[in-house]
Amino acid sequence: MKVLVTVAEVGTVEDDFEIDGTAIDERYLEYDLNEWDDYAVEEAVQLVEEGLADEVVTVTIGPERSEETIRMALAKGADRSVRVWDDSFDGLLDVGVKTELLRAVVAEEEPDLILTGVQTGDAMFGATGVSLASAVDLPWAAVVNDLEFDGETAHVHRELEGGVEELTDVETPAVLTIQTGINEPRYASLRGIRQAQSKEIAVKTLTDLGIDGVESRLEMTEMYEPDVEGDATVFEGSAEETAVQLAGALREKGVGAQ
Amino acid sequence: MTGVLAIAEHRRGELRDVSYELIGAGRELADDLDEELHVAVISGQVGEFAQSLSKEGVDVVHTVSDGAEFNHDVYTQVTERLADELDPTVVLVPNSVNGLDYGPAVADRLDRPLVTDVVDASFEDGLTATREMYGSKVETTVEVDAERTVVMVRGGEWPGASGNGDPEIREVDVEIDESAVRTTVTGFEEVGGGDVDIGDAEVLVSVGRGIGEAENIELIEELADALDATLSASRPIVDSGWLPKNRQVGQSGKTVTPEVYIAIGISGAVQHVAGMKGSETIVAINTDPNAPIFDIADYGIVDDLFDVVPALIDEFEG
Ligand SMILES: Cc1cc2nc3c(=O)[nH]c(=O)nc-3n(C[C@H](O)[C@H](O)[C@H](O)COP(=O)(O)OP(=O)(O)OC[C@H]3O[C@@H](n4cnc5c(N)ncnc54)[C@H](O)[C@@H]3O)c2cc1C
C-alpha cells in the first residue's frame, strides 16, 4: 500500500512585522513544516511501521526553498518526495489550482491512501483535502483525529465541535484530512536527518504534469493588521509591577479570597 | 432568480446557531444582488427545521429528507443538484467541521471558486471577502474573479436571523446515487469526561503553547493553586499530551463561562476563543502585544510569562 501525504511549508510570523503589499515582508517570516501535515506524516509512517503500508510519498507545492521542509518529512520517515513548482505561481494559490496540480500527481502515483493536514497555519483555507478527493473521485473524511485501518475500510473519528466525535467508516482508497492530536509526531533523529539527504525529491513543472497553465480565480488585493477592537487595560511596568496591578484587579473580582 | 442558496446545519436533531447566521449573511449578499435568498435543509426532521428556518428575509426553504444525520456524500449530491437547478450566484456553507467535509467538494463539482473561513463578504461586480491569515495576525481582502462562488462563513461573525418570516416551503425530492455514498456514519462519541469539569469553575487559569515544555506546566499549576482556580488549556497542550482532553477549552473542547479566565501564553485563535469568549473577565499574559487574545481581554500584561507568573504567585502566596 502506498500512502501519499501532502506536505506544505508555511510561513510563521514574528511578533513584530511589516506588511509589504499583499504579503508579510520576508524579513519577518520563518518557514516551517505545516503543523497539521506533521501529524499526517506521522500517521503515514506509523502505517508503515504497523506493516499496513509499504511506502510513504510526500507531495509539496512549493519553491526550491521548501526542500528544507520536505527534508524534515523525509527525515521523519517518508520514503521520497515530489515537489511541484512553476515560476508563474505567486501569492495565494486558490484551492482549485492546488487541486489541479495535486490531481496530476495522484494520477502518476496512484496511491492507496492520501493524507492531508486539515489546514495550513498561514492561509488557513482548510479545503485542499476534500477538494482533491472530489476531483480524483475518492471517498474522504475531513478532520480525522483517530484512524484505524483494517486494510479495506478506514474506521475514523471525525472531531466535531463541542467535544463530540463522529464515528465514520470510509472505503479506501480514500483521502483523509488529519487533525492535530491524532498521534505524537516524532522528532527527526540524527540518523533520519542524514538518511533524508539521499532520498529523492522529484521536481515537477507544469509541463511535466501535462498542465498547460493554471489560473487562480481568487486574488488577494489587500493585507492589513486588523484594528484592535478591544479595550483591555494593559498594565505597564516590570513583571513585578504588572503582577501587583493584576493581583489587585483579580482580588477585586474575588479571586484568591478563601 | 436565486441570489443565494444557504445550506443549514443541524446535528442530533437540533439546528446549529450557524444556520441562523447563514441567513443573516445570505440576506446581506442577496440584498447586494437584489435577488432571492433560498435556504436548504437536508436530512433529519426537515419539516420542523423548515419552520424554525422561516425567518424574515428568507424567500424559499427547500427541504430534502434523505437520511437522518449529516452524510457528506448526500449533502454534496443534494447541494450540487439544488445549485444546478437554482443557479445561485453564491452557495453559502458554514465553515464548520461538517461544512469543511462537503463545501470544498461542492465547489469542485460545480467548478466554482471557493472562499473559506470568511468573516465579511459583499457583492458588487463580483464577490469580495475578508479572511484572516497567520492565526488572525493579519486580515486580507480577497476578490473572486468568477460570476459564481461557494463561500464558507465563519461562525459568530454575522448576527443570527431572528424575526419570523413567511417563506415558501418546497419539499424537494432528490434521487441519491447510492453507489456514490461511500462513507457511513456509525455513531457519535462524547469525549473529555473525567475528574474535573472545567465548565463548572469560577476561575480558570488557562495555559497555551507559550509554556514551551511539559515540565513548565507545573508553574501554572502553582498559580492555579495560589488563586484557588482550576487549570485549563488551549489545544496544543492537550495535543502534546501534557494535560488531558477534558481540560481543553475551545471549539472542539469545552465551552466555559467562568467569572475570570486567565489566558497565559495563548494567542487567541478563533477556535480557542469560541470556547471562552463568554467569560465575564478575561485576562491575557502574552509576549506578543498583537496577539488576538488582547482584542477580547479586559486586562492584559505584555511580558514573558516566566517573569510574570512567579511574581503573581508571590503576590498571592507571599
Ligand atoms: C478544526 C479545529 C479545531 C480546533 N479546536 C481548538 C480548540 O478546541 N481549542 C484550542 O485551543 N484550539 C483549537 N484549535 C487550534 C487553534 O487553531 C490554535 O492552533 C490553538 O488554539 C493555538 O493554541 P495557543 O494559543 O496555545 O498556541 P499559539 O497560537 O502558538 O500561541 C502561543 C502564544 O504564546 C505566546 N508566548 C510564547 N512564549 C511566551 C512567553 N514566554 N510568555 C508569554 N507568552 C508567550 C505567543 O506570543 C503566542 O501568542 C483548533 C483548530 C482547528 C483547525
B267-284 pLDDT, tens per residue?
A: 999 999 999 999 999 999
- For residue B142, which of B124, B113, B115 has the smallest C-alpha distance? B115
Nearest to A149 by CA among A175, A178, A177, A169: A169
CA-to-CA dists, residue B215 to A102, A151, A206, B261, B311, angstroms: 41, 39, 48, 22, 19
Residue nearest to atom 11 of ligand 1 (CA): B234
| Beta pairing, strands A23-24 & A19-20 | antiparallel
- Picking from B98, B183, B186, the nearest residue to A139 by CB comes out as B183
At B286, list the grid cell.
502574552
CB proximity under 8 Å: B 89-128 to A: 95-98, 100-105, 107-109, 111, 113-117
Locate the chain B residue with the closest alpha carbon to A172: B182
The pLDDT score that the predictor gives to residue A230 is 77
pLDDT value of position A238 = 97
Binary contact (A255, B260; C-beta < 8 A):
yes
Does residue A176 sit in helix, strand or coil? strand
pLDDT value at B179 more than 70: yes
Interchain pair A122, B134: CB under 8 A? yes
Query: Which residue in A has a C-alpha nearest to residue B270's C-alpha?
Result: A124
* Contact (CB<8Å) B235/A166: no
How many Å lie between the centroid of ligand 1 and the Cα of residue A112? 33
Kindly report the average pLDDT of chain B as a whole number: 96
Per-residue pLDDT tens over the stretch B72-98: 999 999 999 999 999 999 999 999 999
The H-assigned helical ranges of chain B are: 17-33, 46-52, 72-86, 99-110, 217-227, 235-239, 270-276, 293-296, 305-317
How far is residue A179's CA from residue A158's CA, in Å, rounded to a whole number?
9
Amino acid at position A244, single letter:
V
Q: Which three cell numbers stand for residue A103?
A: 490531481
Q: How many CA atoms are closer than 13 Å to the CA of A143, on its beta-carbon side?
A: 21
pLDDT of residue B171: 97
User: How many angstroms separate the CA atoms of B41 and B174, rounded?
Assistant: 12
Which one of B9, B114, B243, B302 would you mutate to disrupt binding with A, by most A Cβ within 10 Å of its Cβ? B114
Inspect the interface and report whether the beta carbons of A220 and B298 lie closer than 8 Å. no
Q: Could you tell me the three cell numbers for B96?
A: 464548520
B7, B22 contact by CB (below 8 A): yes
ipTM over 0.90: yes
- Rounded Cα gap, residues A80 and A98, in angstroms: 20
DSSP-H helix ranges across B181-304: 217-227, 235-239, 270-276, 293-296
- pLDDT tens string, chain A, 258 residues long: the values are 999 999 999 999 999 999 999 999 999 999 999 999 999 999 999 999 999 999 999 999 999 999 999 999 999 999 999 999 998 887 778 999 999 999 999 999 999 999 999 999 999 999 999 999 999 999 999 999 999 999 899 999 999 999 999 999 999 999 999 999 999 999 999 999 999 999 999 999 999 999 998 999 999 999 999 887 778 999 999 999 999 999 999 999 999 875
Q: B60 pLDDT exceeds 90?
A: yes
As a whole number of Å, the end-to-end CA separation of chain B is 70
pLDDT at position A258: 55
- Determine the Cα–Cα distance for residues A128 and A139; give it in Å rounded to an integer: 14
Mean pLDDT to the nearest integer, B137-166:
95
Residue B309: phi, psi to the nearest 5?
Answer: -65, -45
**Residue B104: which pLDDT band, with cuts at 50, 70 and 90?**
very high
- Report DSSP state, residue B147: S
Put simply, whether the predicted model's pTM sits higher than 0.90 gets the answer yes
Q: Which residues line ligand 1 (CB under 6 A)?
A: A 118-119, 143; B 97, 135, 208-210, 234-236, 248-253, 265-267, 269, 271-272, 275, 285-288, 291, 304-306
User: B224 alpha carbon to ligand 1 midpoint, in Å?
Assistant: 19
Closest CA to B20 of B92, B76, B68, B75: B92
CB atoms within 10 A of CB A195: 14
Chain B residues within 8 A of A100 when measuring between CB atoms: none
The residue contributing the CA closest to ligand 1 atom 38 is B210
**Burial class for A80, CB neighbours closer than 10 Å (0-12, 13-18, 19+):** middle
Q: Which residues of B touch A247 (CB under 8 A)?
A: 312, 315-316
Diameter of chain B by CA atoms?
71
CA angle A251, A257, A258 (to 5 degrees): 170
The yes-or-no verdict on residue B226 having pLDDT over 60 is: yes
- C-alpha B246/C-alpha A184 separation (Å) is 18
Taking an 8 Å cut-off on Cβ atoms, the answer to whether A131 and B107 are in contact is: yes
Q: C-alpha A73: how far from its chain's center?
A: 12
Quick one: cell of A5?
Answer: 501525504
A159 and A145 Cβ atoms separated by less than 8 Å: yes
CB contact under 8 Å between A143 and B97, yes or no, is: yes
Q: What is the pLDDT of residue B196?
A: 84
DSSP H or E stretch at residue B115: strand B114-123
Give residues with Cβ within 8 angstroms of B85, minimum separation 6: none
Q: What's the average model confidence in pLDDT over B284-301?
A: 95
At B61, list the grid cell.
426553504
